A and B are shown apart, each in its own frame.
Chain A
Amino acid sequence: MNEKAIEINELSYSYPDGQCGLAGINLTVDRGESVALIGPNGAGKSTLLLHLNGILRGNGAAITVLGLPVDDKNIRQIRRKVGMVFQDPEDQLFSLNVFEDVAFGPVNMGYPQEEVERRVRQALQKVGMQGYEKRSSHHLSIGEKKRVAIATVLSLDPEILALDEPTSSLDPRGKWALIELLRSLPVTKIIASHDLDLVACLCDRVVILDEGNIVADGKVEEILGNKGLLRNHGLANPEGTPDPIAPLSSVARA
């Protein structure tokens, strides 16, 4: 059994217009780890995620997922094992109802019908959306859409979850419910986010990405405790401005 979930070696990528996306990324993620990928807008977080299941291939650098090199031969297996959740659930939910969306992966994998239905049921149960099978995806609330989007990959029993901004555009209640949900899923997670609450609650390791480079990689307390580092990469409030939480905590004390 290979203990490494993901190994990336010298990965570079340029966007179709020639702009540099990733510049020589080296990253190893162990099985069972929860890694946060943080960085300012345009740092290359989403681009890096898209390499994990071979949607983008970069410079042909060696990426190994669960011991399998990402190439045409392994692509099917890798896509089953890496559950990719996109930022906008509107992109992930393209079928006419929830059932068809969650069943899309299992059906493509050629499972028989009873197995497909069992997987859909289980996946929806895991995200707390049972009973929504016949609803149309368009009419769900944004929080419900995010949950169903996660169910669409859980139905494949992935060993790695790659999530792009899972809490963006959620209200605080929806956000914390989603954090709890993700915490309950015992798989390797790679989460691209700006949401430091989410990172602090969910991840044990943080990688900061800026301008296509990994600029820091360490334990969550170390990195989130280093305000200077966060400031340098546009992830915390600028020096001299009031700490966003301070007024709230002074209210709480009074």
Chain B
Amino acid sequence: MHRLDPRTKLLGSLAFVLAVVLTPPGNWRLFAVYLCVIAGLVLLSRLPLKHVLKRSLVIFPFVVMIAVFVPFFKQGQEAAGYDIGAWHIAVTYEGLAVLINVVVKSWLCILCLIILSSSTKFELLLQGMYKLKVPQVFVQITSFMYRYMFVIADQAMRMQMARDSRNFGMNRSNIFKTMGNMVGMLFIRSYERAERIYAAMLSRGYSGEIIEIAKLKFQLPDAYFALILSLLLVCPAILWW
């Protein structure tokens, strides 16, 4: 799994995500198949299950924030309801079905992406993107993001420590004010750093185009993997769509 060509893994993940997203809601047999595929991949990649599950929890706040109100607004048969004065709040079965589908679909997708990102080195992912003709701007932005994420996080942490060491019982509005200042400061610093990086790139002959030297090779395992994955995705879909 870790030795597969990053392009195979990228395309495989894309195929999986598309399959999950396009599956009609409520088709539980298909979702079960997808879950089995994921389980197989986890076994194959020898990732610790706990790590994968723990990381997959990250998406729930986002999904819940977006989808939690759907059951209240979807028209359909009422499951339960309250009357607050003249205002009737009700949850419908149809709405709940939508919520569950959204949660299941996004969870399956995030599991797939976690397997992709934990079994592939970031450089290889970028090389794969580059070779798959993803526009250079995206590849470069992703690369810089990954390179400087930690630098900026470090900076933020130092600023926070500096703030906390001078912080004697601030009230809430002040905390927000300093937080705003810190975010602004981080933005300005990052902007200035970007200018210095650009100067450093120009100094070494940068002309607007990243010329990548990538040494990627499709091998036999890639073919097997692609074949098996597409069979696993296509056959059940034909049977049970």
Contacts and interface: CB of A to CB of B under 8 A. Distances in A.
Interface of A: 50, 53, 55, 76, 79-80, 82-84, 86, 88, 90-92, 94-97, 100, 103-105, 107-110, 113, 116, 137-138, 152-153, 156
A115 B97 CA distance: 61
Listed residue (B126, B146, B203) with the most chain A CB atoms within 10 angstroms of its CB? B203
| Chain B interface, >50% SS class | helix
Nearest to A112: B213
B143 A79 contact: no
Contact of A79 (B126, B146, B203, B211): B203
B213 A116 contact: yes
B150 A94 contact: no
A153 B199 CA distance: 13
**Is the interface on chain B under 10, 10 to 19, 20 to 34, or 35 or more residues?**
20 to 34
A190 to B, nearest CB: 14
Contacts of B201: 94, 104
A137 B202 contact: no
Contacts of B146: 96
A48 B50 CA distance: 55
B150 to A, nearest CB: 5
Given A79-B204, A79-B205, A95 B213 contact: no
Nearest to B199: A55
B117 to A, nearest CB: 14
Contact of B204 (A88, A91, A104): A104
B147 A95 contact: yes
A103 B213 contact: yes
A53 B143 contact: no
B147 A94 contact: yes
Listed residue (B126, B200, B205) with the most chain A CB atoms within 10 angstroms of its CB? B200
Contact of A53 (B122, B151, B203): B203
B164 interface: no
B196 interface: yes
B211 A108 contact: yes
Interface in B189-214: 193, 196-197, 199-207, 211, 213
A96 B205 contact: no
Contact of B200 (A92, A137, A156): A92
